[in-house]
């Protein structure tokens, strides 16, 4: 289903996926429907969401081969640090019943460890840990020799520039491949998008419908009528047409089907521009802009 975007490490990620979340963001039958009936092959989850075991069960029940899926998981900020990060990823793999993740993200830019500031956790080498930047130390690409438990790595909710890829000069497999943040017609961090593209980092957006707030916008409604599409499809199409990997979340079968039907049409240039003018800076999800 859909298009794929190349990552800096040579892999390709589906530009459209299905998100999960905590607080009711997982329904078993909806995941099965997405995999079996809608052709979804890209699923985003996290330890924080508490649905790893159920998601793993749904994947096995769907019959879709693991090799056909792109699975993203995230490292909670209480597990930052080389040993803790490695163990957390292994535990997530075990809960989901998989051997690896296609993408593993730092979930939040702020650390949650006593006695260390966020900056210290990112940059300081602690006793007994391998040398190098924080990005190099917490990432898990091929840390067990031939067994890769994280094929690509990245960050989530970094509204400031992600940690500099100092490791680019020494070890290309540890390059930050993706920055995943809130992205919709009301939240368009253009400077961050441009920074990521200059650095070769794929930009990924969640909450493309602004948690439903964009569905009643007059501009969105007008375009939905023009193209014979739903407001949700207009918003998602706008996002992927901007080259953003997009992961709408839904727990309803009919909504997932609707959200997947965005590949077979294209918004005109003037309509893309009209949606681009809706930016007002609002956050409908976590606001990480205070993190330094």
Higher local confidence (pLDDT), 121 or 80: 80
**The Cα angle at residue 118 between residues 114 and 123, in degrees rounded to 5:** 115
- Taking 60 as the threshold, does the pLDDT of residue 159 lie above it? yes
Asked whether 106 and 133 are in contact (CB, 8 A), the reply is no
pLDDT at 48 over 70: yes
- Angle of helix 52-62 relative to helix 28-36, nearest 10 degrees? 40
Task: Find the radius of gyration of the CA atoms of the chain.
Answer: 19
Contact indicator for 231, 216 with CB cutoff of 8 Å: yes
Integer CA distances (angstroms), 121 to 8, 21, 60, 166, 173, in order: 25, 26, 37, 16, 21
Mean per-residue pLDDT, 18-40: 94
Structure tokens at 187: 């939240």
pTM to 2 decimal places: 0.86
In whole angstroms, give the CA distance from residue 243 to residue 6. 11
Rounded to an integer, what is the distance from CA 287 to the centroid of its chain?
16
If one counts every other C-beta atom within 10 angstroms of the C-beta of residue 14, the result is 21
For the chain, percent of residues with pLDDT exceeding 90: 64
Catalytic choice (3, 26, 49, 82): 49
Residues in the chain: 292
- CA 36 from centroid of its chain's CA atoms: 22
Cα 152 to Cα 141: distance, rounded to the nearest angstrom? 7
CB-neighbour burial class of residue 65 (10 A; exposed 0-12, middle 13-18, buried 19+): exposed
Q: What integer pLDDT is reported at residue 160 of this predicted model?
A: 67
Q: Can 186 be counted among the known catalytic residues? A: no
Domain boundaries, the chain: 4-276
3-state secondary structure of 91: helix
- Which of these ranges, 41-45, 114-118, 258-262, 273-277, has the smallest mean pLDDT? 114-118
Q: In the chain, helix, strand, coil percent, each to 5?
A: 40, 20, 40
134 pLDDT higher than 50? no
- Looking at per-residue pLDDT, the higher value among 163 and 70 belongs to 70
Across residues 24-34, what is the average pLDDT?
Answer: 93
Three-state SS for 7-76 is: CCCCCEEECECEECECCCECCHHHHHHHHHCCCCCEEECCHHHCCHHHHHHHHHHHCCCHHHCEEEEEEC
pLDDT at 232: 98
Average pLDDT across the chain, whole number = 84
Q: How many CA atoms lie within 13 A of 49 on its CB side?
A: 25
The fraction of the chain above a pLDDT of 70, given in percent, is 81
Cβ-proximal residues to 65 (8 Å cutoff; 6+ apart), any chain: none
CATH topology of domain 4-276: TIM Barrel (3.20.20)
Tens-digit pLDDT profile for residues 181-240 = 999 999 999 999 999 999 899 999 999 999 999 999 999 999 999 999 999 999 999 999
* Whether residue 167 has pLDDT greater than 80: no
Of 131, 115, 143, 126, the closest CA to residue 81 belongs to 126
Tens digits of residue pLDDT in 67-115: 999 999 999 888 877 778 888 999 999 999 999 999 999 888 876 655 5
């Amino acid at each position: 289903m859909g298009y794929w975007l190349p990552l800096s490490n040579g892999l390709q990620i589906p530009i459209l996926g299905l998100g999960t979340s905590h607080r009711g963001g997982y329904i078993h039958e909806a995941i099965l429907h997405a995999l079996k009936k809608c052709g979804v092959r890209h699923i985003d989850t996290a330890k924080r969401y508490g649905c790893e075991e159920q998601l793993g069960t749904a994947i096995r029940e769907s019959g879709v081969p693991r090799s056909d899926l792109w699975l993203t998981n995230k490292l909670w900020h209480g597990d930052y640090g080389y040993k803790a990060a490695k163990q957390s990823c292994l535990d997530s793999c075990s809960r989901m019943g998989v051997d690896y993740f296609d993408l593993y993200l730092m979930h939040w830019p702020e650390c949650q460890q006593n006695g260390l500031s966020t900056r210290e956790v990112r940059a300081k080498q602690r006793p007994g840990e391998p040398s190098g930047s924080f990005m190099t130390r917490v990432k898990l690409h091929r840390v067990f020799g031939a067994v890769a438990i994280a094929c690509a790595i990245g960050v989530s909710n970094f509204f400031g520039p992600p940690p500099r890829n100092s490791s680019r000069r020494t070890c290309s497999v540890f390059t930050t491949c993706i920055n995943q943040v809130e992205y919709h017609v009301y939240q368009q961090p253009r400077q961050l998008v441009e920074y990521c593209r200059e650095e070769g980092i794929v930009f990924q957006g969640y909450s493309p419908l602004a948690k439903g707030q964009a569905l009643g916008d007059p501009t969105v409604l007008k375009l939905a009528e023009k193209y014979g599409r739903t407001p949700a499809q207009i918003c998602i199409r706008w996002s992927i047409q901007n080259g953003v990997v997009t992961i709408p979340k839904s727990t309803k079968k009919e909504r997932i089907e609707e959200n997947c039907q965005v590949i077979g049409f294209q918004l005109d240039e003037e309509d893309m521009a009209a949606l681009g003018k809706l930016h007002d800076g609002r956050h409908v999800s976590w606001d990480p802009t205070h993190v330094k």
